[in-house]
Structure 1
Amino acid sequence: MKAFVPRVEYLIELSRASLFSTSATWPAKKPARTRARIKEERWRRCATFRTRGVQGNVDAKTLQSPKFLDMSAEEEQPSRVAIGISFGNSYSSIASTVGGGDPKVIANEEGDRQIPSILAYVDGEEFHGTQAKSQLVRNSKNTVAGFRDFLGKDFKSIDPTTARGAAQPQEHESTVAFSIRDSESESPSTVTVSEIATRHLRRLAASASDYLGKKVTAAVITVPTDFTQAQKAALVKAAKDADIEVLQLITEPIAALLAHDRREDHRPADKTVVVADLGANRSDVAVVSVRGGMYSILATTHDYAVGGLKLDETIQEYVAKEFVKKHKVDPRETDRGLAKMRLESEACKKALSLGSSASFAVESLANGIDFTLNLNRTRYDMLAGKVYGRFVQLIQDAIVKAELDVLDIDEVLVSGGTAHTPRIASNLGSIFPESTQIVAPASDAAAINPSELTARGAALQAYMIESYDTEDIDQSTHAAVTVTPHLAKSIGLVLTGDEFKPIIPAETPLPVRRTVNFTATSDSEAALIRVAEGIRDIKITQPEPKAKQNGKATDNDEDDDEDEDSEEEDEEKRETMWKVGNVVGELALKDVKKGSKVTVQVQVGADLEITMSAMVAGKSGVKGSVPGSAANGAAH
């Protein structure tokens, strides 16, 4: 049964330990060892010591003396204040589970929940977020943007176009840096990307501290799935330099899923989910299997050239052409005009995500000419059609890479700021079956704000682990825990007529145990229960051709032909079918009466040993096992 040998897949940051449980009931936090609690523990130890009769010269007064109860700095464990940080190339956000409740995204001093990942320097003053973004028009050379993906890389390996319209990255020793001039009278200073990231993270933590009323000391930070170990190490160092202890780095699709699965209306279930993170500079897609509260990333795809900025560019191109038609001047020829168009195009795109039309208005766009243009959503969707197509193709590529079909996908979770665009959700709905839930604002009224998903998920993880020791967290996220074999094929029961009923779906991490209950439909002296592998197949049914109408030609035939051409053709019908594969084992239950409750349990170990048991309610059962090394190959 070599087909049963699973491939090894990476589990996400969540381990089997309750520390990282994703069940519906969230685990209680480990209480921090406060000064009062340490004193109480010391008193209890001393009291026990005295009751055993080994009192010596120690009496009750001495036990409670300040000298005896003095706690050293090493013994006292101050509690952390941890938040979730979504660190994006274009925008960042911070969140916290205030009072242990649902995560809440925190607004900064300007009231922004989506904080631009931008820093600007003017006359010795540092601007951050939206204030820094406004400097892209008049002070772009001293404004740093799009720097996250430069972390942990050398200059030769970066794509400098992500920082277009801002301070340009340059090579500095073995890293990437920016040349910043605070004022015209001063000479430029070189600031490394690590220092820029530190300043950005420090400002985010300060905003969270102001809101919470206490200093933030730790965080769970999100990263893309393709972040290298060098990039992760650089991010941890940048956070440490900002006095932030990184409890864990969690991948963006998993953070988004954590927040989504935390919804009150959500019921934990095994499922396969596509998480499409449509950002500003790039788009990332992950196919994730959810099995028993554990997440496994099956495949990822990335497009570093398509994102929300591409949608902005479609508006820019349209506006520029209209401006040239009217004024015979191209506003893209000047850096300032181009910067103004970029900012207004983004605002126009966001307005079209909420309404059917938007106004593009810029003062002194070119040659002192003010320009205003109305754009409706229909025209916008037509202009952005190619970009939408690339989004859909990226998702389809991820599904193919995971060796799955669209019929295997239970949910599509769209995250990132670009996910607000209504047409994206409708386009996805056209390629997936009706049974697949498209989770986006335009298709699901209960969907969480896609711009806030990753920050919320990071905050949930921070809440669960902030009171654990660093050593405990490191051990629980070690590869020995988070890397595990997965089932290559589904395991299930063979029913009457060789019908297959899946019990343990493919891509389930091992070890695993599943139990099913059913009612006997007839009396049987020896009921045979067969456990087998399942082979998933896609049945395609072609639509029947429409019958042509007979009759003489008329003057209206041409019109009728046009009507027929305009009618939508019936699409082929695709459905999932299961076939019985290799039989793993058989169990025989004696004297099963009609209506009896039968319980079957199947367990697969990490070494592929399969243990099966079956019993009738109120009676003894049978049990058997198939050694993994003998029949099922070896896990690797």
Structure 2
Amino acid sequence: MSEEQGAVIGINLGNTYGSIACINQHGRADVIANESGERQIATRIAFNGDQVYHGNEATPQLVRNAMNVIDNFVNLVGRPFDSLLEEEKARKSSPVLNKDNVPSFEVESHGEKKVLSAHDVLVRYIGVLYGAAKDFMSGVPIVGAVLSTPSWYTDAQNAAVFQAAQDAGLRVLQLVPASAAVLAAYGLTAPSAKGDLPAHPDGEQGVPYPADKVLDRNVVVVDFGGTSLDVSVYAARAGVYAQLAYTHDKTVGGRALDDVLVQYFAKEFAKKTKITIGEQDARAWAKLRNEAEITKRALSASNSAQCSVESLAEGVDFSGSVNRMRLNLLAAAVYQTAVADVQKAIEQAGLEPCQVDEVVLAGGASRLAGLAEQLSMLFPEDGNTHITYSIDSDQVIARGCAVYAQSLVHLPSQSAEREFVHSLPREKEALAKQLEVPATTRPVGLVLDDPKDESVAKQVVDGHLFVTLVPEHTAVPARRVVRLPVARGAEASLLRFAEGTPKVRVDFVKEEPLDDEDEEELEPVEVRTAYVCPEASRLVELVVPHSAEAKAITVHVVIETTGQVRIEARVDDSAEVAAQATLGA
């Protein structure tokens, strides 16, 4: 059977939840629901007598049967036991054991003790996802899958995930970083049939990118998952993405938000009933945590949510509520840490927030409005930074994996592209070397006289405005085309090309008092503006002759892998080159 004779799926293999996506009949990626109607399936397996519970069905077992529940096992696969941190071993469910230096779990099933390695549990879990996909496909064979893994995974961890998926019966087409799957889900890396890239991130009704940012943008992917935060900074250049920086923080995530809700509701329970939940009352804490997570999810869709627990402690029921504003106050420290991590990654990339064009959110915890609100404060109010989250953030990675899988199986058979993709190594260092391409180190663009336009006034340097045609970090060979208007009645135009240096301008703007009677002087507000400072020496000055009736000049800039720069100028729709120059090797 050929790959085209069946379906492919994408799997987001998270440490707290997993999900599956496929391409529907309309060619769009959809997340699959299991037989219980759940699209987010907890990475949890529980054993109780002769029963085995998987996914969300295993969650209630944490209350009465916690020692036979295995969860948070995905990140343990492919790692020796002695490499685990104490916080990774600590859990309220089945403890992590050392079995020949392999992270393992001991549970009781059918009246007997059995030891399962993290690998064994992952094989079972992937089998559950695979089974849900097969049920959904109703007999259509699944011929391949793409799975996501975090960028911080080692080669050993990726190899272990690959092997576990194969042991579960899946044919693995490729493992991809979660951030790459996010970009694929939005179609940002895939040109249309016309060769055009998306002009806006949020669908046809979304806010369009600024004209000069459709091809070339600096993009930050923020993956706020259940147990960690991953931030990746990319230079997006005409559909080719180069990673500039990456940070991973295990201290923040959806579980940290659960923690603040649990503590809040525990205090509310104590206020209402005068009963304090004891530290050793594991059952009460498990009940409250399960309900707090449900409350957190409800807050992503509504402004307030209830938390009700039957017989929470000493046989007393609890019912409380919380709204988004209260959660944002409770979780302020978590969000501030997340924003600081984003800022750290941007700095590692050699950028400032005002130089970021787009922030894409992923991970279930980012469905809450608090993260987007806090992130928006990091970027200038009058800037063009767009925060993108039109696809459900807990579905975007799985959808991207499905899109990725579909693109792989639709590569023409016997084509050089397919041969290249299948020949790529799985080891990270070897893969990076294989995919490494030369890139520009400085922007190349046009130097214009000050256009006296307020929208770009802060980008003018010594009476000149630099218009970037080919930004830094652009993979070469590269081509950019720009169409310039011609001054009315002119019979020639002078085009000045130069390299530039990206910089940030800092202005302090004095704010006006809100009240006329308020005599207190407000602190000036710092405003940062990104711009490019042109080099004093020009690469070339090109004189383009044309008639007085000419309306526009089309400029083609081509940079070869050798570093050679070719510039051609054509007048109006003419195919003839009116002026040209070749620079470098």
Q: What TM-score, normalized by structure 2, do the two folds share?
A: 0.85
Q: Take 1:582 and 1:99, find their aligned partners in 2: how far apart are those partners?
A: 56
**Partner residue of 2:264?**
318
Q: Residues 141 and 623 (structure 1 numbering): CA distance in 2 closer, same or farther, change over 3 Å?
A: same
Given candidates 479, 482, 487, the residue that maps to 1:521 is 487
**Partner residue of 2:443?**
490
**Partner residue of 1:626?**
583
Given candidates 224, 240, 245, the residue that maps to 1:299 is 245
Q: Take 1:603 and 1:467, find their aligned partners in 2: how far apart are those partners?
A: 30
Tell me, yes or no, if structure 1 residue 257 matches structure 2 residue 204.
no
Q: State the SS of the aligned residue for 1:220.
A: strand
**Contact kept? 1:95, 1:456, Cα under 8 Å:** yes
Tell me, yes or no, if structure 1 residue 180 matches structure 2 residue 107.
yes
**Partner residue of 2:32?**
106
**Partner residue of 1:74?**
none
Given candidates 365, 372, 385, the residue that maps to 1:418 is 365
**Contact kept? 2:503, 2:531, Cα under 8 Å:** yes
Q: Greater shift after overlay, 310-319 or 345-354?
A: 345-354
Given candidates 366, 376, 385, the residue that maps to 1:436 is 385
Q: Greater shift after overlay, 261-270 or 493-502?
A: 261-270
**Partner residue of 2:459?**
none
Matching residue's letter, 1:182: S
**Partner residue of 2:117?**
192
Tell me, yes or no, if structure 1 residue 161 matches structure 2 residue 161.
no
Q: Residues 471 and 242 (structure 1 numbering): CA distance in 2 closer, same or farther, change over 3 Å?
A: farther
Q: Residues 609 and 318 (structure 1 numbering): CA distance in 2 closer, same or farther, change over 3 Å?
A: same
Q: Residues 592 and 86 (structure 1 numbering): CA distance in 2 closer, same or farther, change over 3 Å?
A: same
Q: State the SS of the aligned residue for 1:354.
A: coil
**Partner residue of 1:210?**
135
Q: Take 2:434 and 2:71, find their aligned partners in 1: how far apart are those partners?
A: 37
**Partner residue of 1:532?**
498
Q: Take 1:191 and 1:94, find their aligned partners in 2: how far apart are those partners?
A: 24
- 1:281-328 deviation per Cα after TM superposition (whole angstroms, max 9, x unaligned): 111111122211112221111110111111111111122233344334
Q: State the SS of the aligned residue for 1:516.
A: strand
Q: State the SS of the aligned residue for 1:394.
A: helix
Tell me, yes or no, if structure 1 residue 616 matches structure 2 residue 567.
no
Q: Residues 525 and 467 (structure 1 numbering): CA distance in 2 closer, same or farther, change over 3 Å?
A: closer
Q: How much is the aligned-residue C-alpha RMSD, in angstroms?
A: 2.7
Deviation at 1:119, TM superposition (A): 1.1
**Contact kept? 1:272, 1:410, Cα under 8 Å:** yes
Deviation at 1:137, TM superposition (A): 1.3
Q: Greater shift after overlay, 396-405 or 615-624?
A: 615-624
Q: Residues 597 and 481 (structure 1 numbering): CA distance in 2 closer, same or farther, change over 3 Å?
A: farther
Tell me, yes or no, if structure 1 residue 366 matches structure 2 residue 313.
yes
Within a 5 Å distance, the mapping from 1:526-605 to structure 2 comes to: 527-544=493-510, 571-581=525-535, 583=537, 585-589=539-543, 591-594=545-548, 595-605=550-560
Q: Take 2:444 and 2:50, find their aligned partners in 1: how far apart are those partners?
A: 65
Q: Residues 538 and 324 (structure 1 numbering): CA distance in 2 closer, same or farther, change over 3 Å?
A: same
Higher RCO (CA < 8 A, seq sep 6+)? 1
Tell me, yes or no, if structure 1 residue 137 matches structure 2 residue 63.
yes
**Partner residue of 1:384?**
331
Q: Residues 400 and 548 (structure 1 numbering): CA distance in 2 closer, same or farther, change over 3 Å?
A: closer
Q: Take 2:522 and 2:97, find their aligned partners in 1: how far apart are those partners?
A: 55
**Contact kept? 2:227, 2:254, Cα under 8 Å:** yes
Matching residue's letter, 2:261: I
Deviation at 1:590, TM superposition (A): 5.3
**Partner residue of 2:428?**
none
Q: Greater shift after overlay, 450-459 or 531-540?
A: 531-540
Matching residue's letter, 1:228: T
Deviation at 1:584, TM superposition (A): 6.2
Deviation at 1:161, TM superposition (A): 3.2
**Contact kept? 1:256, 1:453, Cα under 8 Å:** yes
Given candidates 14, 17, 21, the residue that maps to 1:88 is 14
Q: Take 1:169 and 1:277, find their aligned partners in 2: how far apart are those partners?
A: 26
Q: Residues 546 and 471 (structure 1 numbering): CA distance in 2 closer, same or farther, change over 3 Å?
A: closer
Matching residue's letter, 2:422: D
Q: Take 2:284 and 2:51, find their aligned partners in 1: how far apart are those partners?
A: 25
**Partner residue of 2:454?**
none
Q: Take 1:393 and 1:343, find their aligned partners in 2: how far apart are those partners?
A: 29
Q: Residues 92 and 545 (structure 1 numbering): CA distance in 2 closer, same or farther, change over 3 Å?
A: closer
**Contact kept? 2:380, 2:527, Cα under 8 Å:** no
Deviation at 1:264, TM superposition (A): 4.0
Deviation at 1:572, TM superposition (A): 2.5
Q: Residues 171 and 493 (structure 1 numbering): CA distance in 2 closer, same or farther, change over 3 Å?
A: same
Q: Take 1:329 and 1:528, find their aligned partners in 2: how far apart are those partners?
A: 79
**Contact kept? 1:528, 1:586, Cα under 8 Å:** no
Q: State the SS of the aligned residue for 1:305.
A: coil
Q: State the SS of the aligned residue for 1:404.
A: coil
Within a 5 Å distance, the mapping from 1:469-508 to structure 2 comes to: 471-475=419-423, 478-479=431-432, 481-496=434-449, 498-508=464-474
Matching residue's letter, 2:12: S
Corresponding residue pairs, total? 534
**Contact kept? 2:542, 2:581, Cα under 8 Å:** no
**Contact kept? 2:4, 2:410, Cα under 8 Å:** no
**Contact kept? 1:533, 1:582, Cα under 8 Å:** no
**Contact kept? 2:542, 2:580, Cα under 8 Å:** no
Q: Take 2:471 and 2:511, find their aligned partners in 1: how far apart are those partners?
A: 37
Within a 5 Å distance, the mapping from 1:243-254 to structure 2 comes to: 243-254=169-180
Q: State the SS of the aligned residue for 2:124.
A: helix
Matching residue's letter, 1:602: V
Q: Greater shift after overlay, 154-163 or 360-369?
A: 154-163
Deviation at 1:462, TM superposition (A): 0.8
Matching residue's letter, 2:132: S
Q: Greater shift after overlay, 103-112 or 431-440?
A: 431-440
Q: Take 2:433 and 2:332, find their aligned partners in 1: how far apart are those partners?
A: 45
Matching residue's letter, 1:171: N
Q: Greater shift after overlay, 377-386 or 306-315?
A: 377-386
Q: Take 2:283 and 2:250, find their aligned partners in 1: how far apart are those partners?
A: 26
Given candidates 462, 466, 473, the residue that maps to 2:405 is 462
Q: Residues 409 and 599 (structure 1 numbering): CA distance in 2 closer, same or farther, change over 3 Å?
A: same
**Contact kept? 2:146, 2:401, Cα under 8 Å:** yes
Structure 1 unpaired stretches of 5+: 1-31, 34-76, 441-446, 551-559, 629-636
Structure 2 unpaired stretches of 5+: 189-201, 209-213, 426-430, 450-462
Deviation at 1:223, TM superposition (A): 1.1
Matching residue's letter, 2:98: E
Q: State the SS of the aligned residue for 2:531.
A: strand
Deviation at 1:131, TM superposition (A): 0.6
Q: Take 2:570 and 2:327, find their aligned partners in 1: how far apart are those partners?
A: 62
**Contact kept? 1:531, 1:583, Cα under 8 Å:** no
Q: Residues 514 and 362 (structure 1 numbering): CA distance in 2 closer, same or farther, change over 3 Å?
A: same
**Contact kept? 2:96, 2:105, Cα under 8 Å:** yes
**Contact kept? 2:304, 2:322, Cα under 8 Å:** yes
Q: Take 1:547 and 1:161, find their aligned partners in 2: how far apart are those partners?
A: 50
Deviation at 1:419, TM superposition (A): 1.2
Deviation at 1:168, TM superposition (A): 1.6
Q: Greater shift after overlay, 120-129 or 570-579?
A: 570-579
Q: Take 1:549 and 1:380, find their aligned partners in 2: how far apart are those partners?
A: 31
Q: Take 2:366 and 2:170, find their aligned partners in 1: how far apart are those partners?
A: 30
Q: Take 1:466 and 1:548, find their aligned partners in 2: how far apart are those partners?
A: 60
Identity of aligned residues (%): 32
Tell me, yes or no, if structure 1 residue 223 matches structure 2 residue 178.
no
**Partner residue of 1:15?**
none
